[in-house]
Structure 1
Amino acid sequence: MASSSTTSLLESCRIAPAPGGAAELSLPMTFIDIMWLHFHPIRRLLFFEFPCSKAYFLETLVPKLKESLSLTLKHYLPLAGNIVYPSNTENKPIIRYVAGDSVSVAIAESANDFDNLVGNHARDADQFYDFIPQLQLITDESGDELIQLLAVQVTLFPGRGICIGLANHHSVGDASSIVGFIKCWASISKHGGDEELLMTQGESLPLFDRSLVKLPPGVDSIVWNHSKEIPLQPPSFPLPTNRIRATYVLNQSEIKKLKDLVLARNPGFVHTSSFVVMAAYIWTCLVKSLTAGEEERADDDEDDELETFLFAVDFRARLNPPVPGNYFGNCISYGLVRIRHQELVGNEGFFVAAEAIANEIKNRVNGKEKILAGAKNWTTEVRSVAQKRFFSVSGSARVDLYSTDFGWGKARKLETLSIDGQKYAMSVCKSGASEGGLEVGLSLPEVKMAAFADGIKGS
């Protein structure tokens, strides 16, 4: 938790999995898990409008949250454990839970303006770090380093609402996995136990068996050999961010207009998904707004005049045979689109971007035989992209965290702080305020956010 005169820590504790689960669990890390070893933690805030007193919060809600978290961790043991990063790098890291492992939980109270925090307008990004916990990195007696996988903070805004802040290490699981955990915790909290969950969703409880994902042989070692060359750094906050956060909602009718524009231009267009048109629209608006800072590109050579769009792809259902949807871990590939800067900022930029993103999905992402092709080169390719200007996506158009209900009603606002750690990125999820809509979060320097806001109004 970042220090603030308006937010105070009330309690710090650790929550262990409830009895009844496995005594220990050790999971090998696939090459996809290993690829995320040096990535910054994924940080999410879920705000709930639920006016209550401090006494009710501490005496009723906090005990229920602790108990339900303990029951949830019984089903999600890896989250209570650690990555064991070996001192002898001839060995690969593993994800391990042993009896005694637990999740750190902070209970806090804040006098910050709740209504300002849950708005969509531009706000100082730094203030949100008062409500998110830090992950820890420690060295055990054998010299191995242990990386904490999950930390939680629950913050009360007296008389207004509650914020649940979660930080997790990406190597333990992708968005689908962590959202499944959050929804499971919420369900257990709401119903006062896991009996209903086991009766209604028992078949969707997480599966940890790494053999379910048929990956190319030998890739784990190739990726680990690349990864171990990078020194392991403790997770840290990117403070000060020197950024402004804002949220933009594209409702169903606006998305339909974008689709209609694409189809009118190209009636044969075969992949006019909401994600494709949203991503093309935001990407082109962003790059146009950044053109005001062309001094960044003044010395670029011809090759560097490429704008790059990087997005994650869940391939559970895309493999042959498919991986069950409740597989817990990282089961994601990526799409990579490159377009020349002048094309992207031109009058046809939106159409060029939509076609390029759709073609990447069609030709690389949706091909069952292609999605893992070249997997041994993924690390090299992503690193090469990271050396240049690129725009990336956190989250998914299929993710619905707004329906999360701990017993206080659905979430009022989701903030994905992870995008603060990247130069240009957006968060994406299903909209909580617009059925069929998408919500996009951006984090930019103030001048660039203002330019983007002006650009999107005029587009």
Structure 2
Amino acid sequence: MAMLYSTTTQVLQTCKVSPPPFASGDTTNILPCTFFDLIFMHFHPVQRVFFYDFPHSSHHFISSEFPSLKHSLSLTLSRFYPLAGCLLMQADGKPELVFSAGDSVAVTIAVSSDDFHELSSDLAREMSRFHVLLPKLVEKEVLAIQVTIFPNSGISIGTTMHHGVGDGATYTHFMKTWSAVHRFGELTAFSMVLPPFQDRSKVRDDRGLERLFMEELEGFNGGDGLDKWDLHGCNDVVLATFLFGRERVEKMKKKTLSNCSVSALACGYMWSCLVKTRKDMSKKMVHFGFVTGCRARIEPALPTNYFGNCLGICCVEAERSQVVDEERLVAAEAIWEVIKGLEKGVMEGADKWVSNVYKYASERAMTVAGSPKLGVYEVEFGWGKPKKVDIVSIERTGAISLTESRDGDDGIEAGLALPRHEMEEFVACFLNGFMEEI
């Protein structure tokens, strides 16, 4: 039975933050969307919440921090101005990211009476408690931000970003720039962090993927085909975090001959536990999906600071009976084999990327959001590093979220959203497997 919380979240104000006027005056800038962007155009927005300890009053934060937080955001948008723009459709149906002078990002400030320390823990927490910490996107806008104060305990920064405008690397590049500007000032921060690279002409489409993906997305009738992943609105959905520390990972590595990466081990274990939890014996084969960064793997290569999506879709298939075996490492080895196969060329099978996304959604396959390589715990505004970072939108995308360990021990944190009754079975499966290793 769901626990009821007598908490309130009160919105104090919503303001618009624009980048400073360009030196050239009123301008309109257009970024055409590439085939990489089209893959994620109908995905639900990506929503993250950063929790920071801040043991001061609401008045202290509003008077001393919030004005400079808005100012540093404005300065950051001078480099990341497309995030203040809108996604608009051309006559041929192709989307493009358009920024015009005066465009802005909506920033909401609120106060919550919820338990900050419990909400920022690893425990199974009701999804409804996160929903009030996140802003909604107004039609065509691509980024919204909400700052929530938990008086005398902490603050959260919740962001909602359209996946069609950028991947995790683009998002964390923006957040690290903003936090550096707020912490060190504009001149120092801009000397520390590269500006975004926005030249879309460098993305070659020798395979005609843009045309193919446009046709396929139209055939899939927008985003309807992704709904089987979506738990939003279901009763009693909870979000929990599972830790893979260095010691645990080393024990797992000894059980495999494939020298799997830490990410493959964590993903394989989570996949195995989910398949076992769902008990769907009608499926002989089960599936797992993840994305891989393509910036350095395509020709010509794109710089690490490229602004936009640049991810390839990777698919894993294995026999259910093997994935749920007692050792639970067959799943990790299957994932690792696909990762190693990327050495042959990341664009191999790219024409199937969109169709595979919809196929895996129809099967409710587990997928991955985020990556420990993104370094979300490096987003520090001057209040100390984040106490916790959660990707809340995994509730809608059938994914586990991956981040680096907040303790800096080379481990991984994996987030998962499930109905409470499934989560209880998943936790039991997860812990039982770990107990077998001791």
TM-score when normalising by structure 2:
0.91
Partner amino acid for 2:85?
A: G
Q: What is the deviation of 1:25?
A: 1.6
Partner amino acid for 2:388?
A: K
Show the 5 A alignment for 1:327-338: 327-338=306-317
14-23 or 281-290, larger mean C-alpha shift: 14-23
Partner amino acid for 1:438?
A: I
Task: Summarize deviations over 1:129-182 as a string: whole Å, max 9, x none.
Answer: 110000111xxxxxxxxx211000001111011100000000110001101100
CA distance in 1 between counterparts of 2:404 and 2:105 reads 28
CA distance in 2 between counterparts of 1:91 and 1:285 reads 41
CA distance in 2 between counterparts of 1:148 and 1:220 reads 23
Task: Summarize deviations over 1:257-297 as a string: whole Å, max 9, x none.
Answer: 111221xxx2xx3x521111111111112211222xx4xx5
CA distance in 2 between counterparts of 1:126 and 1:200 reads 38
Show the 5 A alignment for 1:150-229: 150-191=143-184, 193-201=185-193, 204-229=194-219
Q: Which residue is 1:141 aligned to? A: none
2:329 pairs with one of 334, 351, 354: 351
Partner amino acid for 1:366?
A: E
Q: What is the deviation of 1:91?
A: 4.2
1:46 pairs with one of 43, 50, 70: 50
2:364 pairs with one of 386, 389, 400: 389
Q: What is the deviation of 1:381?
A: 2.2
Contact 2:287–2:315 (8 Å) recurs in 1: yes
1:285 aligns with 2:273: yes
1:405 aligns with 2:380: yes
Partner amino acid for 1:261?
A: K
2:33 pairs with one of 29, 38, 45: 29
Show the 5 A alignment for 1:253-264: 253-262=247-256
CA distance in 1 between counterparts of 2:215 and 2:141 reads 22
Cα separation, partners in 2 of 1:80 and 1:43, compared to 1, 3 Å: same
Structure 2: where are the runs of 5+ without partners? 1-5, 434-438
Q: What is the deviation of 1:382?
A: 1.9
Partner amino acid for 1:351?
A: L
1:435 aligns with 2:409: yes
The secondary structure found in structure 1 opposite 2:122 is coil
CA distance in 1 between counterparts of 2:223 and 2:267 reads 33
Q: What is the deviation of 1:226?
A: 2.1
Contact 2:197–2:306 (8 Å) recurs in 1: yes
CA distance in 1 between counterparts of 2:75 and 2:278 reads 47
Cα separation, partners in 2 of 1:206 and 1:443, compared to 1, 3 Å: same
Contact 2:231–2:395 (8 Å) recurs in 1: no
Q: What is the deviation of 1:376?
A: 2.5
Show the 5 A alignment for 1:9-158: 9-20=11-22, 23-86=27-90, 88=91, 90-137=92-139, 147-158=140-151
208-217 or 45-54, larger mean C-alpha shift: 208-217
Q: What is the deviation of 1:85?
A: 2.2
Contact 2:231–2:237 (8 Å) recurs in 1: no
Structure 1: where are the runs of 5+ without partners? 138-146
2:343 pairs with one of 342, 357, 366: 366
Task: Summarize deviations over 1:218-249 as a string: whole Å, max 9, x none.
Answer: 2111211222342479x999335631111111
The secondary structure found in structure 2 opposite 1:256 is helix
The alignment of Structure 1 onto Structure 2 pairs a total of residues equal to 421
The secondary structure found in structure 2 opposite 1:366 is helix
Contact 2:202–2:300 (8 Å) recurs in 1: no
Partner amino acid for 2:189?
A: L
CA distance in 2 between counterparts of 1:414 and 1:120 reads 10
The secondary structure found in structure 2 opposite 1:227 is helix
Cα separation, partners in 2 of 1:389 and 1:361, compared to 1, 3 Å: same
Contact 1:393–1:427 (8 Å) recurs in 2: yes
Q: Tell me the C-alpha RMSD between the 2 structures.
A: 2.0
Cα separation, partners in 2 of 1:196 and 1:8, compared to 1, 3 Å: same
CA distance in 2 between counterparts of 1:122 and 1:237 reads 15
Cα separation, partners in 2 of 1:242 and 1:196, compared to 1, 3 Å: same
CA distance in 2 between counterparts of 1:240 and 1:384 reads 22
CA distance in 2 between counterparts of 1:38 and 1:200 reads 34
Q: What is the deviation of 1:122?
A: 1.2
CA distance in 1 between counterparts of 2:206 and 2:72 reads 39
Contact 1:126–1:241 (8 Å) recurs in 2: no
Q: Which residue is 2:284 aligned to? A: 305
Q: What is the deviation of 1:21?
A: 6.7
Partner amino acid for 1:10?
A: L
Partner amino acid for 2:191?
A: M
Task: Summarize deviations over 1:192-225 as a string: whole Å, max 9, x none.
Answer: x310122233xx2110111222333421112112
The secondary structure found in structure 1 opposite 2:144 is strand
Partner amino acid for 2:87?
A: I
Q: What is the deviation of 1:70?
A: 0.4
Contact 2:7–2:114 (8 Å) recurs in 1: no
Contact 1:316–1:322 (8 Å) recurs in 2: yes
1:446 aligns with 2:420: yes
